[in-house]
Amino acid sequence: MNFLRNRFFAFAFLATLVALTVAADAQTNRRRSTQNGKENLGPNETKQQRLPELPNDPKLFKIHKAFSDEAMKIAKAYERDRDFDAALAVYGQVLKLIPEHASAKQKLDALLARQKDADRQILKVDATKAWQPTGIRVIANKPIVIETRGKWTFTLKAELTPDGMAIPEKLKEFKLGCLVGFIDTGIADQEKAFIVGAKKEFIPKRSGVLFLQMYDTDLSDNEGEIDVAITGTFERINPRKR
């Protein structure tokens, strides 16, 4: 497989280098064309919007095709060897160079869908408990889908004067009583609670242990629990308290 990797990156470097060179030539030609007068723009274009165009160069497209054909073969070989991460990376490179490549897009979408359905974890989240372990460790750049079912009771009790009270600052970040999540990455300055709500699909930027709870500063007076289903690509771990 190392041979395939080296072969792919050699083709990727060549195709990218040629594309950048031709784009730079096109930009240089445009600058020259404006030296003796105002540049001609389309009816709805501005100089800031207009990007250098690649010329209709048969040699360039031949290199693009050679790269994409070779890359598709390598990606399929990775799939046969069940190295799906490598296959995703190769399909992504093909689409960077040729965004309209239908086969690469189809393959990429299929692999992403496969990752979304790779595993499933079912649990309950109690309205009265803080940061409950889900038993999973999310993986950086792998899709996660959290879906919920059921209802719980959010309670806010306070003894007040007729003037009432303002919503506490600590409860202004999210909707009261919503489901929130937290990923313990082991690095404090990278950790922040996020809203989950009834359903959330996301791709975490960092790996870490996932915790869930109701959004409230005092959980003890709430009632009920909700069902939560987590699907995606993740690691199962022994549940632990945060």
Looking at residue 157, what is its pLDDT?
82
Closest CA to 136 of 240, 195, 210: 210
Residue 202 CB-half CA count within 13 A? 19
Most confident of 9-23, 90-104, 175-189, 221-235: 221-235
What is the β-pairing status of strands 179-184 and 132-138? Answer: unpaired
Neighbours of 196 (CB within 10 A): 23
Higher pLDDT, 19 or 219: 219
Confidence of residue 20 (pLDDT cuts 50, 70, 90): very low
CB 26 within 8 Å of CB 53: yes
Q: Which residues pair with 202 in a beta bridge?
A: 144
- Per-residue pLDDT, averaged over 190-218, amounts to 93
The alpha carbon torsion through 199, 109, 4, 12 (nearest 10 deg) reads: -100
Confidence of residue 99 (pLDDT cuts 50, 70, 90): confident
Q: Is the pLDDT of residue 4 over 90?
A: no
Looking at residue 146, what is its pLDDT?
97
CB 145 within 8 Å of CB 234: no
Higher pLDDT, 204 or 23: 204
Confidence of residue 1 (pLDDT cuts 50, 70, 90): low
Looking at residue 138, what is its pLDDT?
97
- Per-residue pLDDT, averaged over 150-177, amounts to 85
Higher pLDDT, 95 or 132: 132
Domain boundaries, given as residue ranges, for the chain: 2-115, 119-236
- How far, in Å, CA of 47 to CA of 110, rounded? 39
CB 152 within 8 Å of CB 127: yes
Domain 119-236 fold: Jelly Rolls (2.60.120)
Q: Is the pLDDT of residue 44 over 60?
A: no
Confidence of residue 49 (pLDDT cuts 50, 70, 90): very low
Instruction: Choose the weakest-confidence range: 21-25, 110-114, 155-159.
Output: 21-25
Residue 166 CB-half CA count within 13 A? 4
Q: What is the pLDDT of residues 167-186, one digit of tens each?
A: 777 777 899 999 999 999 98
Confidence of residue 241 (pLDDT cuts 50, 70, 90): low
- Per-residue pLDDT, averaged over 188-204, amounts to 90
Closest CA to 241 of 213, 220, 202: 213
Closest CA to 102 of 75, 79, 68, 53: 68
For 127-174, where are the E strands, in sequence order? 132-138, 144-149, 152-153
CA 196 to chain centre: 15
- How far, in Å, CA of 114 to CA of 84, rounded? 10
Token pair for 181: 């999540």
Higher pLDDT, 27 or 5: 5
Instruction: Choose the weakest-confidence range: 48-57, 60-69, 103-112.
Output: 48-57
